[in-house]
Structure 1
């Protein structure tokens, strides 16, 4: 049997122990709520999923986004999808779980995004499409698209060819290196080019195949084109990198790029511009990868709930060999 003094002492000890355990438990609960995430310091967090690193253009685009996020004071969570849509969907879902402020991504392909974009919308996280669009009928699933007019790029390429061959007699045989199958730039550039040359039946696309926007792909497909088609007059490549790969195949086949086979490409990255200045390419329609500064401005605006245009197009031009020579010394990408 406990004495009165001992009972009081024991009750005090239990009370102290209970208070200690309660405080420890509360601290543990607090840690589990935040995980490793620091307290909110008011800094915006952007989750960005990139297509991959398939070209010089894409590398310049990634660098622009990373550098611009740092300059704007925005925390960037970056993911490389390695050219796979399923990787991008996983990344977007991770960003939703992490409760980032804004999600931006450059879609690998146009279709198949409605489900994950609705998940972001339901979570109250605004989405910005960069460089490539989606074909969703529900425009409320994203706030805006920022990038180029791919159809226009294709049209400009075709219009240059129409003008260049207006005095040609006989059929002009064209081969086309398409971008990644199902992607917006591949679909739209093909469409624009076809529309531009449609009124000229002497301009004939005799072969068209994807090179997946890579130099290796461009080289491999051009080798096939050259074996299957003894007379090729023009190559239309959906980006510089495929055109640069095709240069190797054309040279290896004993032909002179830019003369025996005229080459039209899209992007205007440094390597492509150098090939143009050297006379190995004949025409480039520009597609600027430096979207970072505009993207960070949009991130700030959508996070504040500001109204913005649903489509924002970048201003771009075209280049001939002489124009490329003049532009190269100050080219940023």
Structure 2
């Protein structure tokens, strides 16, 4: 999963793009369902209009697609580029080896692409090549995992890991607010990643508003089905009585649900993270403990293509008074439940 350090949650919030990956939400920061729906219904124009402009070559470099979310990132970038007759997409073979990815970005720079979209395997390690591109006059759209210097990119767009945890905690808190001595457990991601710490911090901060709820256990998994199953089995053995489980990632959630089914447990609710299609299908069926998932939408890659095209063609963003594209765009972590899952199903990744 991605590892950004979000520049600011006070920046512009991009919606989850349930209808169009490039649609800008008008300050959709409310947790009130009606307000959120009204904001979604008032979507402004796409990031860049569809009227053909001058031909643009966009270089796209991302990490190896060894995870459902990362594969969806590549799919979103490709499909969005195909919508524009004036865009040529130069996409590299993804790599988790930072030296290899640096070489791939340098190759795109040498090809003199008009703009770069880079989701770095390691933001800090790829900062220098981002700076190299910017110095060469090639604007860089930094996708999700952020470079160490704002000088290495023209625009950053990514998800809100803290917001994921915060909204998961709020959802669980509201479900359990009338339950005396409620207990929750957490199935985290990889503890060495900053994103995991941000998700945990957001969750813990949300629970502070519910004094009747205590987090009694936490296990860190590895964003894989196998680790999700093994770590959940350990949680279930260690904790015989709890009311909710917050799982950071829907891929490892597949394994978590297997362990829960094998244990025959149905006495708690589960909230996932990221927005996999399998999770949304389970939420819609309403036949398991999984009742919600908090989005970390891979549609950000489609929006990054929109932004890259707009930068190359010297266009702005529809719906904003400013002529220039913002320096940073933070997506909103919507909570998908049985009540709204149909709206988000088109964005669910496999």
The TM-score range, normalised by the shorter chain, is 0.7 to 0.9
Equivalent-residue separation in structure 1 for 2:150 and 2:63 (angstroms):
21
Q: Is the 8 A contact 1:270 1:328 kept in 2?
A: no
Alignment match, 1:44: 56
The structure that is helix-richer by fraction is: 1
Shift, 1:57, TM fit: 3.1
Partner of 1:105: 118
What is the TM-score when the length of structure 1 is the normalising length?
A: 0.75
Conserved 8 A contact 2:57-2:90: yes
Is the Cα contact below 8 Å between 2:163 and 2:332 reproduced in 1? no
1:123 aligns with 2:125: no
| Residues 63 and 119 in structure 2, CA contact (< 8 A), matched pair in contact too | yes
What count of residue pairs does the alignment treat as equivalent?
284
Distance 1:97 1:187 in 2: 37
Cα drift, residue 65 of structure 1:
0.8
Task: State the distance in 1 between where 2:221 and 2:346 align.
Answer: 32
In 2, are the aligned partners of 1:274 and 1:328 still within 8 Å (CA)? Answer: no
Tell me how far 1:247 sits from its aligned partner. 0.4
Spell out the pairing of 1:303-314 with structure 2 (5 A cutoff).
Answer: 303-304=312-313, 307-314=324-331
1:231 to partner: Cα distance: 4.0
Of 262, 284, 293, the match for 1:284: 293
Matched, 1:71 2:71: no
Find the aligned partners of 1:78 and 1:187 in 2 and give their Cα distance.
Answer: 31
Distance 2:64 2:192 in 1: 15
Return the alpha-carbon distance in structure 2 between the equivalents of residues 77 and 170 of structure 1.
Answer: 55
2:227 is paired with a residue whose SS is helix
Provide the aligned C-alpha RMSD in A: 2.7
Q: Distance in 1 between matches of 2:92 and 2:262?
A: 38
Question: Structure 1 residues 302 and 261 mapped into 2: Cα distance closer, same or farther (>3 Å)?
Answer: same
Corresponding position: 1:140 with 2:151 = yes
User: CA contact under 8 A between 1:81 and 1:87: conserved in structure 2?
Assistant: no
Counterpart CA distance in 1 for 2:102 and 2:192 is 18
**Which has the higher relative contact order, 1 or 2, with Cα contacts under 8 A spaced 6 or more apart?**
2
Contact 2:146-2:156 within 8 A present in 1 as well: no
Aligned counterparts of 1:63 and 1:164: Cα–Cα separation in 2 = 35
CA distance in 2, matches of 1:91, 1:187: 30
Q: Verify the 8 A CA contact 1:113 1:134 in the aligned structure 2.
A: no
Shift of 1:152: 1.7
Correspondent of 2:281 among 274, 282, 290 = 274
Evaluate the alpha carbon distance shift between residue 152 and residue 116 of structure 1 in structure 2; reply closer, same or farther with a 3 A threshold.
Answer: same
Question: Equivalent of 1:321, from 338, 342, 346?
Answer: 338
Q: CA distance change for structure 1 residues 46 and 329 in 2, over 3 Å: closer, same or farther?
A: closer
Name stretches of at least 5 consecutive residues in structure 2 with no aligned partner.
1-53, 316-323
Counterpart for residue 300 of structure 1? 309
Partner SS for 1:282: strand
